[in-house]
Each structure stands twice: as structure tokens, then as C-alpha cells.
Amino acid sequence: MDAILQKMYEYLAENGMMVLHALVIFVIGRWVAKVVAQLVEKVLLKSRVDKTLAKFTRNLTQISLLAFVVIAALSKLGVETAQFAVVIGAAGLAIGLALQGSLANFASGFLMIIFRPFKVGDLVEAGGITGTVEDIQIFNTVIHTPDNVRAIIPNAQITGGNILNYAVNGKRRVDLVVGISYEDDIGKAKSVIQSVLAGDERILKDPSPTVAVIELGDSSVNLVVRPWVKPADYWDVYFDATERVKIGLDENGISIPYPQRDIHIKNKGA
């Protein structure tokens, strides 16, 4: 132990100023890297860049500048920075191979922040999950499902599949199919359904609701009912419209038939 301390004293005595210069470079450089990174974040936020992207850019800037500072400090101490860079590159390659999945999620998160297929608060279907986007992170996206489940989905799984954004266009179509009897008046049924839809203030006037015959089924004449609503009103209107259309048709003597079959019995002995 004494021999080690003696060598350290001798090294400091011979290279004290060099060590001091390297320490000053590291301390000042670290402070400058932090200040520059914060400045980059402020500039991005003033430019109305997404907060997640601004934060990510700040961290990336600080880490990159800090790496240059460390290399500069080591160079001041006489360390061969070229060899040091080779070691860092080899270590980076090994880490990259070990973390392929995480790097894929990282890259996907970066692309999502740049191209923004959806934002926080949007109702989406992504990665096999449907719900409201709660948070977009670098590696994962958090989605809150309608049944109150918090789903954490890897970003690579989201960008690797289809993304359906139900909120981005500002309106959404409700699709209902209503069957009436072949004996009922189609025009009257359509008038009743349109009256029901007109009485709901949540249903948009433009585009106007569609009520039309879509199919002549085995047991019924099927009408398609397609009102347009705001994304937030979708399920409430879906449930209410289904109930009110049924009540309206009942009140006007229009039946909604159930599947029927005619059975013919042949008597061989007759």
C-alpha cells in the first residue's frame, strides 16, 4: 500500500499541472455540456416542438458533448484517444448486439416522436391494443384501455404493425345495421330512424347521417344506419342510438324479425 501511495505522489509531483488541466477540462466541459443541452431544449420548446422530442434531444446532446469532454480530458493526461475510441466502438458494438430489442424500441420511439402518427390523448389501435394514449416514451408507449387497464407496449411492436388513429380526423362514423320485416314499409322505417337520429344533438349535421337499404336478407330487409359523431361521443351514441331506434320502430308498429325457417313435412303414407 505504501509503495502505491509513493508512486502516486511521484506521478502527481511530475504531472501535477497536467492532471489539474485535465480535471479543469472535465469540470468545465461537463458544466458546458449541461448548459448547452438545456439551451437546446429551451429553443426546441419555443419552436413548439413536442416536449418528449425536446427532452430526448437534450439528453442526447448532453451525453454526446460529455463523451467529447471525457476524450479531451484523457488526451490531456497523455492517453491515446485513438485507441480509446476503438475500445469504445468495440464496447458499443457488443452492447448493441446484446440490446438489439431495446435499440429497435429506441429507434421506433424516435421515429414516432418525429413523424407523430398519434399524440397523447388520441384514441388509437396499435400493437393489438385499443385505447387512449397516455404517454409516449423512448422505449414504450402507454395506452389506457376502455376497461381501465394500463397497457405498456414496446415501440417496435407498434411501428411494425398497423396504427389506427380514431381521433386525428375530428369525427367518426357509427355503423349500425337494423333489420325490418319484408311486410313493413321501408320508407316509414327510414323516416322513423332519421327522426331518432335528428333528435340526438351529439350526432353531427355535416356529414348527414346515412339510412339506406344494404341487404335483402334471409329473414329481413337490412338497413344501414351511419351517423357521424365526435370521437369522444362514439360509444355513448352507439349504445343510445341502438336502443332508441328499437323503441322508435316498436312505437310505429315496425317489427325487427328474428331468423325464421319454413319446415315442410312430407307424409309418405299419404
What is the phi/psi pair of residue 191, to 5°?
Answer: -65, -40
- 136 touches 144 (CB < 8 A): no
Residues 6 or more apart in contact with residue 36 via CB below 8 angstroms: 61, 62, 65
Are 184 and 135 members of one domain?
Answer: no
Are 180 and 209 members of one domain?
Answer: yes
* Of 234, 238, 228, nearest in space to 125 by CA: 234
- The answer to whether residue 227 sits within a structural domain is yes
Are 157 and 179 members of one domain?
Answer: no
Are 6 and 94 members of one domain?
Answer: yes
Indicate which CATH number applies to the domain containing 132: 2.30.30.60
Please, what's the b/e burial string for 189-208 (b: 16 or more CB within 10 A of its CB; e: otherwise)? bbebbbebbeebeebbeeee
- Conformational region of residue 136, where left means phi above 0, alpha means psi within -120 to 50, and beta covers everything else: beta
The predicted structure's pLDDT at residue 34: 87
Which of 98, 130, 146 is the C-terminal boundary of a domain?
98
The predicted structure's pLDDT at residue 82: 61
C-alpha to C-alpha distance for 28 and 38, rounded to whole angstroms? 15
C-alpha radius of gyration, the chain, whole number? 34
Question: Where does residue 19 rank: exposed (0-12), middle (13-18), buried (19+ CB within 10 A)?
Answer: middle
The total domain count for the chain is: 3
Are 159 and 178 members of one domain?
Answer: no
The predicted structure's pLDDT at residue 5: 59
Are 217 and 239 members of one domain?
Answer: yes
Hey, what's the cell of 73? 480530458
C-alpha to C-alpha distance for 14 and 19, rounded to whole angstroms? 10
| Residue 169 to residues 104, 158, 165, 172, Cα–Cα distance (Å) | 29, 20, 8, 8
| Residue 94 to residues 89, 90, 263, Cα–Cα distance (Å) | 9, 6, 74
Find where cell 393489438 sits: 128
The predicted structure's pLDDT at residue 99: 46
- The answer to whether residue 104 sits within a structural domain is no
Question: Where does residue 210 rank: exposed (0-12), middle (13-18), buried (19+ CB within 10 A)?
Answer: middle
- The answer to whether residue 107 sits within a structural domain is no
> How many residues are there in the chain?
270
**What number of other Cβ atoms are within 10 A of residue 259's Cβ?**
9
- 154 touches 105 (CB < 8 A): yes
pLDDT digit string (tens) for the chain, length 270 residues = 666 656 665 555 556 667 677 788 888 888 888 888 888 888 877 766 667 667 767 777 888 888 888 877 777 766 665 655 665 666 555 555 444 566 788 788 878 877 888 888 899 999 999 999 988 877 889 999 989 999 999 999 998 889 999 988 989 999 999 999 999 999 999 999 999 999 999 999 999 999 999 999 888 999 999 999 999 899 999 999 999 999 999 999 998 887 767 677 777 655
Q: Which domain holds residue 244?
A: 172-251
C-alpha to C-alpha distance for 122 and 125, rounded to whole angstroms? 10
Q: pTM here?
A: 0.61
The predicted structure's pLDDT at residue 79: 64
- The answer to whether residue 231 sits within a structural domain is yes
Q: Which helix (H) or strand (E) holds 236?
A: helix 234-251
Are 80 and 22 members of one domain?
Answer: yes
